Amino acid sequence: MLYTETVEARTLDLIQRLMRDEKLVEFNLVGGTALSLKLGHRKSIDIDLFTGRDFDSGKLSNHLTDYYNAQIHRTIKNGVFGFVDDIKVDLIAHQYPILNAIEISEGIRLYSLEDIGAMKLNAIHQNGTRLKDFVDVFKLLEQIPLKVLTDAFEQKYPSVNRQMAVNGLLYHKDINLREKIDFLGKEPTWKSIAARLLRAVQNPNTVFNHTEHDQSIRQTSARRRGKRPGM
């Protein structure tokens, strides 16, 4: 089951149309939208489609223009970047091992949580400015312990020391904390996000309870009132 409420109806429709396209059978949904559909924690608006193979960017760009009236903003070797009906769509050859079988749900091909998690760690390692990447790892830790995610990172990106990924989770000076994130359900505080990331690094085999950040908020509030938590 996918949490389809995390994307607009027209975005979901476009994803499913792209998935049915014979020219795109090697492409799979990744990134924040794939993760939001799986976990249901936040809204997402972009479509990131990755393949493990080389492709002809020029031909694919023309196909998207002809069949989807796409506005292509940039093409590079193995990369096409543009918009379809004002929805950002990126198609990229990400030539690293796919660790688990591609999952298919509601006509959508998606990377596994482990694969997406490894890619999120890599994104934070490369560019630690995006709050949503830290939020996504925060939520992933309710499903998978950090040890499994860093193992996946090491398998997918063997040339990068796994400690770099761990260090990235604890370096927060470059994060844009004003980044707008549309949460579904209770919004975690940055304090609770940072605390969980630290605890995960200290206890890498831990899977966190999704209510823990609520408890942290209640305890902080109780301390401010001069009460003990739970009293």
Structural domain contains residue 229: no
Q: Please say if the pLDDT value at position 2 is more than 60.
A: yes
Last residue of a domain, one of 94, 110, 126: 110
Q: Are residues 58 and 97 in the same domain?
A: yes
Last residue of a domain, one of 61, 88, 110: 110
For residue 50, give the CATH number of its domain: 3.30.460.10
Quote the mean pLDDT of the chain: 93
| Long-range CB contact pairs, 5-8, < 8 A, 24+ | 5/40, 5/184, 6/33, 6/36, 6/37, 6/40, 6/41, 6/42, 6/43, 6/44, 6/184, 7/33, 7/36, 7/37, 7/43, 7/44, 7/45, 8/45
Structural domain contains residue 97: yes
Q: What are 59-77's pLDDT values in tens digits?
A: 999 999 999 999 999 999 9
Which pLDDT score, from 0 to 100, does residue 106 have? 97
pLDDT over 70 percentage in the chain:
91
* Spatial separation of the C-alpha atoms in residues 133 and 80, rounded to whole Å: 22
Q: Are residues 117 and 199 in the same domain?
A: yes
Q: Are residues 104 and 121 in the same domain?
A: no
* Spatial separation of the C-alpha atoms in residues 227 and 231, rounded to whole Å: 7
Q: What are 155-184's pLDDT values in tens digits?
A: 999 999 999 999 999 999 999 999 999 999
Tally the domains of the chain: 2
DSSP 4: G
Q: What is the pTM of this model?
A: 0.89
Q: Please say if the pLDDT value at position 13 is more than 70.
A: yes
Q: What are 190-225's pLDDT values in tens digits?
A: 999 999 999 999 999 999 997 665 444 333 333 334
When pLDDT is averaged across residues 147-157 and rounded to a whole number, the result is 98
| Host H or E run for residue 29 | strand 28-30
Among 3-7, 132-136, 151-155, 217-221, name the one with the lowest average pLDDT: 217-221
Amino acid (1-letter code) at residue 129: T
Q: Which domain holds residue 13?
A: 4-110
